[in-house]
Homo-oligomer: A and B are copies of this chain.
């Protein structure tokens, strides 16, 4: 599959060092077939970046802050095992000739988080005065940096633990004091099972 092959090459080399020749070799496609669908390396990267959205599927939870927490754990576990998502994140984090398109994953993630926070606010889960846009960007930015540090230091092995710590520090500035005791800042049992598969 082309995007899977492209993801592996982008994940290993970064955008500027990746070559369409290597992507072709891994995918088994001919150059003609590739260019029929994607006129350039950039077009492949842009298509790959839209798949980032799939990793933001929202777990169903009556408590909406819990849904945001579970979203970050699900994303963390998927990053550990899915080269497509790792490639998206690498393309989004690193400076390259792929400029404006790198913004897409951040916008998608902030939007998904903001929509959940809107519902959380309606349900009275948040501290009064929390700016939802700022909170969504803060959660998104914190996760971004934490996964970078986890990759550098442990190849993302300790990412779930770091996400737990992130929520313990963020919740007091985000949710009503009465909520904190009702929120789980560890992965849901089924999330841990999935990661061990």
Chain A contact residues, CB within 8 Å of chain B: 14, 16-17, 90, 92-96, 102-103, 106, 134-135, 137-138, 140-149, 151-153, 162, 165-166, 168-174
For A165, what are the chain B residues with a Cβ–Cβ distance below 8 Å?
A: 134, 137-138
Main secondary structure of the interface of A (DSSP, over half): helix
Q: CB < 8 Å: which of B94, B144, B168 contacts A145?
A: B144
In the complex, residue of chain B having the shortest beta-carbon distance to the beta carbon of A149: B141
How many copies are assembled? 2
Identify the 4 closest CB pairs spanning chains A and B, nearest first: A145-B145, A144-B145, A172-B173, A172-B172
For A146, what are the chain B residues with a Cβ–Cβ distance below 8 Å?
A: 138, 141-142, 144-145
Interface centre among A16, A96, A137 (most CB of B within 10 A): A137
Additional A-B contacts beyond A141-B149, A144-B144, A170-B170 (7; CB < 8 A): A94-B94, A140-B145, A141-B142, A145-B146, A148-B148, A168-B173, A172-B173
Report the bound CA distance from A138 to B137 in whole Å: 16
Report the bound CA distance from A189 to B111 in whole Å: 34
In the complex, residue of chain B having the shortest beta-carbon distance to the beta carbon of A165: B134
- Residue contact B95 to A151, C-beta cutoff 8 Å: yes
